[in-house]
Every structure is written in C-alpha cells, then in structure tokens.
Structure 1
C-alpha cells in the first residue's frame, strides 16, 4: 500500500477515471456560471517532463493527511478559523481556482474529521463533491466514495479505512496523464493548506516533547517544497498559475533557512507570515 500519496489529488484521480480531460484551451465553452470551469488558455508544458516530475513528487512527499492527523495527537488545539470557509466556494470559477481549492477543502475536511467536527465536515464534503462535479468527476465521486462517506462520516476509524482503500488504487492512475494539470493544482492547494494549518498552530505554542515531531515535519517540508517547485517550474508559462508559483518560490527561500528541526520562533514566524500570504492568494 502506498502511504506517500497526496490524498485529495488521488480522490479526484480515482473519480476521474474514464472521464475526458477538462484541460482544454478552448475557452468558447466557458460560461459565467459558478457551475462552469473556465479553462486556461496559457500554453501547457511538455507533458512527458511534467508527468515525470509529478510522479516523482507524489512518491517522495507524504500525504497532508499524515501531518494533519498528528496535530490533535500532539496537543494542538482545534482552530476552526484556520479552515477556508465553504462560503467562498461560489467565487472559484476557473479551473485553476477549482483545482487549488479542491485541494484546500480536502485538507480542511481531514482536519475537521480528525478533530471530531462532523457537522462542519458534512459541508466540506458537499463542497468537494460539487467541485468534483464541476471538474467532470461528480458521478464517479458519488459511485466510489459518496455513499460510504455519508454513512460513516462520524466514524473516524471507518473514514481512515475509506482513505486507505483509495490509496490501493494508485497504480491505475499513475499510468494516465489526462488530468496532470488539475492534479498538480490540487496537489499545490493541499500542500499549502496542510502547511498553513500546521504553522499557524505551531507558532502559538512552545516546543515540547509532545510536539517535537511537528517541528520535524516542518523541517521536512523544506524538501517537499523543493520537489513541488521542480514540478511547478513546468507551469511558469501559465499566466494564471504563475503568480501563485512565484509566491511559493519566495516561500521556498525562507524554508531554505531551516537547517534542522530546531527552528527558532523568529524564523517560524517569518515562514508562517509568508505562508499566510501564499494561502491568501490561493483562496481569494
């Protein structure tokens, strides 16, 4: 079983099996409706290199589920203010915004689940379901995970089992290049959100034996971002995507100052502040 997969990405990849790609440069079919996906007209990178870098990325960085699941176990108090409100979802009209925030909401759903916030989790489940529909994967989303999640949404153990089941299907989707751009956007959104939640919680507590593993995860995030930036370099020609990529590049310069898991408060605060700026660009 693959334990280093980006969960929100592969939920969508599972759901999109057999569906046609939405990453077309034909914008004539786009509408102003919030139910439509406005496709990017920017030139796309060489698929072979982007495909190689994407699969290298997912095999070398952990799922955001891993660090989010650790937070309550290390004494981090739940902070509802950190999740992206589902009230924002109607303003995400382009394929980029839908892809990025599918990743964001997927991490938020995990964060709510691991903290027992099941009532709110239902809203996030419905939002990710709608985004799957907008990304032409709604029917398969319901078929694969919809009813199982609805029946077991308040069972943490069962929810974890559902997610493990999704992991086992990875091989089927590593062979497909059809949804590479969307998968990259989702991966980017999920990484940003998992780090945003983690660092905003971590900066307000003192380092202890209980939470030192989270400091280690922040140290490891330095290399994760390097892997992500290697992939995103292939998309710098995308005029809509590029501003966020440049923000992440600046964030990477701060992460490069992290030399060990012994991160001082000043650097942690600098990284967190920049990450907040990156996340704001992603969700606004």
Structure 2
C-alpha cells in the first residue's frame, strides 16, 4: 500500500482498535473459510501447473492480437476496481488479482498508462493483503506508468511480477490461490476476445476463442482438486456451463516440418504443427453469451 506517515498510522490503529470487536469477528469468519482450503491443500505436480500456465495466452498476448488487428481500445471491457477494499477473503482477492492483471495487460498494450495507475494501485492493495507484495514493484510500475515512457519495461515488469507471484503461491503450498489467479486472468482475457469478436468479427479472434477449449479443460482439472470447498464448487459449476459450449468446437492438427532451435545452449528439435479450429457462428455466439454471463458473475464475487 501507499506509504503513510507514522502519526497517521497510529491514529488509524487507535481508531481500528475501537471497532475491532464486530469487524474482527467477520474477518475471522472469512479467514476460517480460507483455512478450510489451506487444510485440504493438495500438492499439484509442478509440471502440470507449468504446462497449463505456459499454454494460457497471457493478457498481453491477447491484447497484442487485438491491437495488431486494429481493434480500438474500449474501457467498457475493464473490470471496476471500486470494490477492491471490500474484498475480505483470500479466495476473492486471488481471483480479482488475476482479473486486474489481465486488465493491466490490456491497458499497457494500448498505452493507456495513466489509466493503468488505478489498476496498479488495486493490485498493490491485493498483493499486500495476500502477503506477496514483495513481488509487485509498485513504485517502479507507477513511475513508468506516470512518465508514459518505456512501455516495454512496464509490460515486462507487469508480466514478471505475476510469474513471480504464481511461483511463490505454488512453492509456499498455496496452489489453490495460484489456480484462482490463473482462472481470473484467463476468463478476463477470454472476455476481451469474445467482446471484440462480437463487435469486430475476425477469423484470428474466432480461432483464438476456439482454442480455449483445451485451456479450460486444463483449468478445470486443477480447480476440481478443491471442489470440496463450496466456493470452488460454485466456480467450477459456472465454468462447466461454458465448457459445454467449448466442447462442441472441433480442433484438428496438421503436422509441419520439424525445426531445430537452440534452447539453454543446446540444439533441440521441435515438431511444428498447425491447429485448425472449426467453430460455427451459432457456437461462437453461445460462447460469447456464456463468457459474458460468467465473467460478470465472477467479478461480483
């Protein structure tokens, strides 16, 4: 959070102590709910999570595609940060952390750096509450956004921060928070794509939407590990309604010529393949409708 002078901090502490009885009971209740998840934390194989994360198109990649296609910026695609201070469970905060990360990527790609400050501040609030503020360089990000320069550095630091937070969650036995952050990141990115597909139809956007069939299946496989928790179960049920529509998308692969590349100082042979996505206009419209409904429901968590 923003730095505060000591006298103000002491006043706030005294004020809070006078109100601690009612508020603390509510916070403790919510903390207890999160403890349930922690108690049943399941070790997810590292390679499984890494593969899923690598396969998910980053919000920057999605925004870059939209930008490249000449799609104009729209602030209507962004989630509101107004309720960030009202979030009081790790479940809510981790999910919104993903959502705001996608929004920040979108703003950065369109060089809306002055608007990005609002999301940088909201993310800072959430990372502090989740005890991962050390991985979010608020001061540098705000300076880059304020100066309206070094866009590449701003994008790199934003993405790097999220990679660091995800890794920390997994290494500190809080993979359930990582799964929520990834889900928020993914659904918000898909929301961008589906809204654009509705207003500015493009084969490239449609293909990218259809490819999410595979990604959602991977995400659900991770979320289902925590389905005993009512909130995870509700999240899964919502995503399953979208999964029903995405399952109808047909994806085939065309094998290309192998390519030799250098990776970590070694030559590696990579088998190239091209995915062919078949999706009807009717299917696309249903996916757009489901995505908007689910996304709007989830940002109200």
Shorter chain as denominator, the TM-score bin is 0.7 to 0.9
Q: Is the 8 A contact 1:42 1:239 kept in 2?
A: no
Q: State which of 190, 195, 216 in structure 1 corresponds to 2:185.
A: 190
CA distance in 2 between counterparts of 1:39 and 1:220 reads: 35
| 1:33-82 Cα deviation digits (max 9, x unpaired) | 6xx96642545556224656433422433323211222111122211111
Aligned to 2:225: 234
TM-fit CA distance, 1:131: 0.4
1:196–1:279 Cα contact (<8 Å) kept: yes
Name the residue aligned to 2:108: 113
1:54 aligns with 2:49: yes
Per the TM alignment, residue 175 of structure 1 is displaced from its structure 2 partner at its CA by 7.1
Give a deviation string over 1:70-107, Cα, whole Å, max 9, x none.
21111222111111111132332221111111110111
The count of residues paired between Structure 1 and Structure 2 equals 247
1:135 aligns with 2:124: no
Measured in 2, the distance between the counterparts of 1:70 and 1:77 equals 12
Aligned to 1:274: 290
Larger radius of gyration: 2
Higher relative contact order (CA 8 A, sep 6+): 1
Q: Aligned partners of 1:107 and 1:171: how far apart in 2?
A: 14
Once residues 165 and 121 of structure 1 are traced to their aligned partners in structure 2, the CA distance between those partners, rounded to angstroms, is: 16
The answer on whether the counterparts of 1:38 and 1:93 sit within 8 Å (CA) in structure 2 is: no
Change (3 A) 1:233 1:172: closer
Q: Does 1:247 align with 2:238?
A: yes
Residue 270 to residue 167, structure 1, CA distance change in 2 (3 Å): closer
Q: Could you state the TM-score of these two structures normalised by the residue count of structure 2?
A: 0.73
Once residues 167 and 103 of structure 1 are traced to their aligned partners in structure 2, the CA distance between those partners, rounded to angstroms, is: 9
Superposition RMSD on alpha carbons, in Å? 2.8
Question: Gapped runs of 5+ residues in structure 2?
Answer: 1-22, 252-276
1:266 offset after TM fit, Å?
2.0
Describe the SS at the equivalent of 2:230: coil
TM-score, with normalisation over the residues of structure 1? 0.77
1:152 aligned partner = 144
Shift in Å at residue 115 of structure 1? 1.4
